């Protein structure tokens, strides 16, 4: 069976913080790490695995990427542009709910981390 996604090698950068974005990605196989670069240092935010997605903010706003995504081991990732995403929502409106739910969870997690960081500093 042919796979549609692109394969990345261990340590390969999929998305670089600061670059413009116009699509999101779905991990088909493997794992990626989400990193923020601050003052030249890498801050590990989380790992994502199969069926997770990243880069979704690019579908809603024209802005630069807020994190770097790096492959951990061999990873296969499918790219989804705005038109494909909107078509998918038209076919299955629950996709929009799941996306917003995941984005909400990530915002809550980052807010909690920030609060703990400020308490310890």
Tell me how far apart the alpha carbons of residues 64 and 16 are, in angstroms, rounded to a whole number: 9
Residue 33 has pLDDT above 70, yes or no: yes
Q: Does residue 1 sit within a domain?
A: no
For 28-54, what is the mean pLDDT? 93
CATH of the domain at 54: 2.60.120.10
Q: Would the pTM of this model clear 0.85, i.e. be above it?
A: no
Q: Does residue 61 sit within a domain?
A: yes
Q: Does residue 12 sit within a domain?
A: yes
The residue segments making up the domain with residue 79 are: 6-120
Q: Does residue 11 sit within a domain?
A: yes
Q: Does residue 49 sit within a domain?
A: yes
The 10s digit of each residue's pLDDT in 47-105 is 999 999 999 888 888 889 999 999 999 999 999 998 988 888 889 888 888 888 888 88
Q: Does residue 111 sit within a domain?
A: yes
């Amino acid at each position: 069976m042919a796979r549609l996604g692109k394969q990345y090698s261990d340590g390969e950068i999929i998305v670089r913080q600061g670059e413009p974005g116009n699509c999101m990605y779905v991990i088909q196989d493997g794992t990626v790490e989400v990193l923020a670069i601050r003052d030249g240092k890498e801050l590990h935010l989380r790992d994502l695995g199969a069926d997770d997605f990243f880069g979704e903010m690019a579908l809603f706003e024209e802005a630069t990427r807020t994190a770097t995504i790096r492959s951990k081991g061999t990873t296969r990732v499918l790219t989804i542009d705005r038109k494909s995403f909107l078509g998918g929502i038209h076919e299955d409106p629950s996709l929009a709910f799941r996306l917003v739910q995941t984005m909400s969870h990530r915002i809550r997690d980052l807010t909690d981390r920030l609060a703990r960081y400020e308490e310890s500093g």
